[in-house]
Amino acid sequence: MNWTNRMKNRFFLVLLPLIIACGGDDNFTPKPRGYFRIGLPAKEYQELDINCGYSFEYNKAARWEDARKPCWGDVYYPKLKARLQLTYKPVTDNNLDTLLEDSRRLAFEHISVADGLKEELIDGQKENVYGILYRIRGEAATNVQFFVTDSTENFLRGVLYFYAEPNEDSLQPVNDFMYDEVVHLIETLKWENSSP
């Protein structure tokens, strides 16, 4: 190694610590964790008619999936990984109080991990649709539940699930969108004249 190369190496070794010492910033602030942008479907609807005690409108971006029991099923949103599970039961002489209490109990089971629970009364006198819509805040397994009934023949319960880790911050736009979807379903719900 010649003298010039040795001088360059020494100069570099002396200069490197000086650059490191002067280049640091004591006011470093880490960037907050970001979330992917979620594309929400358009609000275009189609009517579900499954020859049961009810019908309603649901988003064209979703699909209806039958469950194992008659008149039960899911409105599934594949792009959002969201599933609105619907259970239908006919009202008989003695079961309405039990159906109402079971729905209330199932909604309040999430209160231990929730930040709050809001109940909204559903009073659709025009279409004979009555019930309660539950909005659950926080990192619960479900953020929206509801039940509706005509109090004489039909009872429908719905629970919204996401197939993702419950994180209220990242799911907030989707939660708001799906809440509006549930409200639209309830507003367009019609009971058929006969029980299934």
pLDDT digits (tens, 9 = 90+) for 22-44: 666 666 677 666 656 678 999 99
Q: What are phi and psi of 50, to 5 degrees?
A: -110, 15
Q: How far apart are CA 62 and CA 78, in angstroms?
A: 7
Q: How far apart are CA 174 and CA 176, in angstroms?
A: 5
Q: What is the CATH number of domain 45-191?
A: 3.40.1000.10
Which amino acid would we find at residue 52?
C
Short-list 89, 77, 195, CA closest to 148:
89
Structure token digits, residue 15 = 């200069």
pLDDT digits (tens, 9 = 90+) for 122-162: 998 788 999 999 998 877 777 899 999 998 999 999 999 98
Q: Which pTM was predicted?
A: 0.76
